Amino acid sequence: MTVTEETAPTSHYERIGGASSVKAAVDVFYDKVLADPELAGYFTDVDMPAQRRHMVLMLTVVLGGPNEYAGRGLAEAHQPLNIPPAHYALVGGHLTDTLTELGVPGDVIADVQAVLAQVQDQVVAGGTRAGV
Ligand code: HEM
């Protein structure tokens, strides 16, 4: 172990229980997304096991865990999908609901929400914040 690892503050990722907790959260999250009639259509032709893996790696980075994400950038993956702000808000709501249900501390959820706000322009069509 390096000095940095010994002295660094505990990350959100560690606090919520590491890889197995993030994986459990992503499973619950995509179950909610796929059960939402407004959103399910986006994922009809998507390889969901791969999608869940990518989201686990990305959420790990957001929570301050190890960065092993090697997928496409958010804009590259989402701009072709023409996602309106309302659908972005629905997805964000499902993620927040998931973390709340799993007992994730409020300050961690607040930081995740801050990241959601920061990356919205990359995901939503045309990068507009209109309607939010
Ligand atoms: C902050 C919010 C979001 C994050 C962090 C996120 C994350 C990701 C990641 C990591 C991928 C995989 C990229 C790859 O395969 O290289 C992906 C793909 C995808 N996302 Fe999102 N996403 C978000 C919001 C949304 C929203 C709002 C929708 C739809 C309403 C959506 C629909 C999709 C779809 C359909 C794919 C698969 C695209 C394809 O395979 O061509 N995502 N997302």
The pLDDT tens digits for 49-59 are 999 999 999 99
Domain ranges of the chain: 11-127
Distance 44 CA to ligand 1 centre (A): 13
Quote the pTM value.
Answer: 0.90
- ipTM > 0.90 for the complex: yes
- Per residue in 76-108, pLDDT (tens digit) is 999 999 999 999 999 999 999 999 999 999 999
Q: Is 37 left (phi over 0), alpha (psi -120 to 50) or beta?
A: alpha
Q: Is the CB of 32 under 6 A from ligand 1?
A: no
- CATH architecture of the domain with range 11-127: Orthogonal Bundle (1.10)
Alpha-helical (H) ranges within 36-84 are: 48-62, 74-78
The minimum-distance atom of ligand 1 relative to the CA of 46 is 40
